[in-house]
Amino acid sequence: MKMLMAANWKMFKTREEAADCARGIENRLAGLPADREAVLFAPFTALAACAGALGPGARLRLGGQNCYPAAEGAFTGEISPGMLLDCACSHVLVGHSERRALLGESDAFVGKKCAFALNAGLNATLCIGETLKERDGGMLRPVLERQLAEGLSEVPDDVTSERLCIAYEPVWAIGTGRVAGTAEILEAHALVRAFLRKRFTARGNAMRILYGGSVKPDNAEQIINLDNVDGVLVGGASLQAETFARIALAGVSD
C-alpha cells in the first residue's frame, strides 16, 4: 500500500498563485519515495492552471475538493466528476466537514457523491470526523460508523483498494493547531479499519486511512508512523510549497 500525502487548499489561491505553488511542490518532490503518492486538491478555478504548470508526467496528482453526483444537468454552481477528469484530475474529496457544517451536506448526499465519483473513474477520498461535542458526549464510534455506513452505502463491494480512501479529520483539530493525540488517532483509525474490513473484507485492509487536522512538518512523521495511518490530508500547512513538501517527505532521509 502506498502512503498518500494530500494537500487541500480549500478556498485559497488565484490561478497564478496556484500554478506557482503547484510547480514549487512538484520541484521538491523529486525525492518522494516510490511507496508514497502526493495529491493536490485545488480549487476548481485553479485546476487547469495547476495541470498546465505540472505537465503530464508530474508526481503531484490533482483532485477536486467536491463534485456533484450527476454527469451533467441543471445543477447551477456544481461540478461533475467528468469535468474534474477533463481538468486532469484523478481524485476527488467528498464529505469534507466544512461542507457538511457550512453547506448542510447530509451523510446520504455524501454517499451518492462517493459512489458516483468512483463509478465515473475518479479515486474518492471520503472525509469523516466527529465534532468536539460528539466526542465529549461519547459519540465517537456511532458518529464515525454512521458516516462510513452512509458514505459508503452505494460504493460497489468490489471497488479496488487504491481507489477509495477514508480521511479521518476530527472537526476540533481542523485549523485549530490542536492536533489529535496519539491515542485518539489510534482509536479512530482502528475503528475505521475494522469497519472497512467488515464492509470490503480483505480489500478493506489495503484501503488507505488518512489523518487530517493541524498536520505540520514537525508532527507529520510521528503521525504517519502510527498504526492504520496511511497518509495525511493537510490544509493550512499545504499552502506553502516548502512546508507541504516537508510533510510529504516526512521521515525520508536525504
- Of 26, 96, 130, 184, which is the active-site residue? 96
Which is nearer to ligand 13P, 8 or 147 (by Cβ)? 8
Burial of 49 by CB count in 10 Å (0-12 exposed, 13-18 middle, 19+ buried)? buried
- From the list 37, 169, 184, 189, the catalytic residue is 169
Measured distance CA(126)–CA(7) in Å, rounded: 15
Residue 187 annotated to the active site: no
The reply to whether 64 sits near ligand 13P by the rule CB under 6 A is no
What single DSSP character describes residue 69?
Answer: S
User: Counting contacts by CB under 6 A, is residue 215 touching ligand 13P?
Assistant: yes
Ranges within 195-214 binding ligand 13P (CB under 6 A) = 212-214
Q: How far is the CB of 174 from ligand 13P (least distance, A)?
A: 4
Of the candidate residues 29, 40, 235, 249, the single one contacting ligand 13P (CB under 6 A): 235
**Dihedral sign of CA atoms 47, 170, 195, 190 in order:** positive
Q: Binding of ligand 13P at residue 233 (CB under 6 A)?
A: yes
- Which residues, including other chains, have CB under 8 Å from residue 3's CB and lie 6 or more apart? 35, 36, 37, 208, 224, 230, 231
184 binds ligand 13P (CB under 6 A): no
Question: Minimum CB separation from ligand 13P for residue 74, in Å?
Answer: 30
Sign of the alpha-carbon dihedral angle for 206, 212, 215, 217: positive
CB closer to ligand 13P out of 6 and 140: 6
Look up 91 and say whether it is catalytic: no
Among positions 156-175, residues that touch ligand 13P (CB under 6 A) are: 169, 174-175
Q: How far apart are CA 12 and CA 61, in angstroms?
A: 18
Q: Which stretch binds ligand 13P (CB under 6 A): 45-53, 84-92, 103-111, 233-241?
A: 233-241
63 binds ligand 13P (CB under 6 A): no
Residue showing the smallest CB distance to ligand 13P in the complex: 235
Contact indicator for 63, 93 with CB cutoff of 8 Å: yes
Contact 92, 83 (CB under 8 A): no
Q: Is 46 exposed, middle or buried (0-12, 13-18, 19+ CB in 10 A)?
A: buried
**Closer to ligand 13P by Cβ: residue 166 or 200:** 166
Taking the C-alpha atoms of 182, 183, 189 and 192 in order, what is their torsion angle to the nearest 10 degrees? -160
Nearer to ligand 13P, 62 or 200 (CB): 62
**What residue ranges bind ligand 13P (CB under 6 A)?**
8, 96, 169, 174-175, 212-215, 233-237
Q: Which residues are catalytic?
A: 96, 169
